[in-house]
């Protein structure tokens, strides 16, 4: 027979255990697989914990933004460095992330927000799904692309004399094909709570001067926008010059888009997204 004090202690322990189970369940990794022995049904207790410098998150994914240039002469492409561009093309080009609804319309709304100089917008699409017939990509261009990449093409008649120029802004996701991620956002939603903005080439730190735009377009066209400066989040104690953490907490659904200009010399930008929560919509 337990004494009254022992019974009270058991109740307290039981209550704490229930709270702990609830806490653990809430912070389970959103992408954690069900791991069990063959024929078993137990769920793995492996999860991602918060660490110093990172927020608490349930999922995380990385995007890479590549900027590639080619000249087209006699039906054949030649890849060129930014320094080899015609002087009129040494400007900046936009990149659009997410925004599934506007992507379905060829990024009509976002193109209006981000005019280009010296270049003409082409038709965005997905490698392995859409046909980039107007550009006639050959093996030189295809070598820089992977199935599932989203491509924003830009063209120019410069430098002329039988040669034209093609620029491709390529968006790629490390964990899953970017096109699959983009399509999932047509129904599922997530809330991010930090962007880790990484410039692999430390000679391109001027890229941080480009504003990051956050946009929303409703079902019937209502449009809201906001911008933030990556430079505002540089910290004196941060010793890694090519990394800035932006503590942006924002829900992303099919109506939401992030955008920025990319300086013409910055051929790679890496963005890591930390996901606070995921709302999986199922039929």
Instruction: State the DSSP string of 202-241.
Output: GGGGGGGGSPEEEEEE-TT--EEEEEE-GGGG--TT---T
> How far is Cα 83 from Cα 65, in angstroms, rounded to an integer?
19
11 assigned to some structural domain: no
206 assigned to some structural domain: yes
The dihedral built from the CA positions of residue 167, 172, 177 and 180, taken in this order, carries a sign that is negative
Tell me the mean pLDDT per 10 residues along the chain, length 283: 62 47 36 37 48 74 98 97 98 97 96 98 96 93 98 97 97 96 92 96 97 93 93 81 93 96 98 91 57
Backbone angles phi and psi of 20, in degrees to 5: -65, -45
pLDDT value for 42: 44
Q: Tokens standing for 70?
A: 């080619």
153 assigned to some structural domain: yes
pLDDT value for 40: 40
Q: Are 246 and 198 in contact (CB under 8 A)?
A: no
pLDDT value for 32: 42
Q: Are 280 and 198 in contact (CB under 8 A)?
A: no
17 assigned to some structural domain: no
45 assigned to some structural domain: no
Q: Are 89 and 96 in contact (CB under 8 A)?
A: no
233 assigned to some structural domain: yes
> How far is Cα 71 from Cα 166, in angstroms, rounded to an integer?
6
pLDDT value for 7: 61
Most distant CA atoms of the chain, gap in Å: 99
Query: To which H or E segment does residue 198 belong?
Result: strand 189-198
**Structural domain range at position 164:** 59-279
Domain count, the chain: 1
69 assigned to some structural domain: yes
Of 276, 252, 265, nearest to 97 by C-alpha is: 252
Q: Tokens standing for 207?
A: 């890229």
265 assigned to some structural domain: yes
């Amino acid at each position: 027979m337990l004494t009254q004090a022992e019974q009270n202690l058991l109740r307290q322990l039981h209550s704490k255990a229930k709270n702990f189970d609830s806490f653990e369940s809430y912070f389970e990794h959103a992408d954690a697989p069900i791991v069990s022995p063959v024929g078993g049904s137990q769920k793995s207790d492996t999860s991602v914990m918060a660490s110093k410098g990172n927020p608490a998150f349930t999922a995380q994914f990385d995007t890479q933004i590549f900027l590639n240039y080619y000249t087209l002469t006699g039906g054949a492409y030649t890849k060129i460095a930014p320094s080899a561009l015609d002087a009129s093309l040494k400007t900046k080009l936009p990149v659009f992330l997410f925004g599934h609804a506007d992507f379905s319309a060829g990024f009509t709304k976002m193109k209006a927000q981000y005019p280009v100089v010296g270049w003409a917008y082409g038709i965005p699409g997905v490698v392995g799904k859409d046909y980039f017939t107007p550009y006639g990509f050959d093996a030189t261009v295809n070598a820089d692309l992977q199935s599932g990449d989203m491509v924003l093409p830009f063209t120019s008649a410069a430098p002329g004399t039988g040669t034209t120029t093609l620029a491709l802004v390529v968006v790629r996701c490390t964990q899953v094909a970017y096109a699959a991620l983009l399509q999932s956002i047509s129904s599922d939603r997530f809330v991010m709570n930090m962007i880790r903005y990484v410039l692999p080439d430390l000679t391109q730190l001027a890229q941080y001067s480009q504003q990051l735009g956050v946009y929303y377009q409703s079902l019937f066209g209502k449009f809201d926008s906001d911008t933030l400066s990556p430079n505002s989040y540089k910290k004196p104690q941060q010793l890694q010059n090519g990394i800035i953490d932006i503590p942006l907490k924002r829900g992303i659904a099919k109506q939401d888009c992030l955008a920025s200009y990319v300086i013409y010399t910055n051929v790679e930008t890496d963005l890591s997204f930390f996901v606070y929560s995921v709302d999986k919509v199922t039929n």
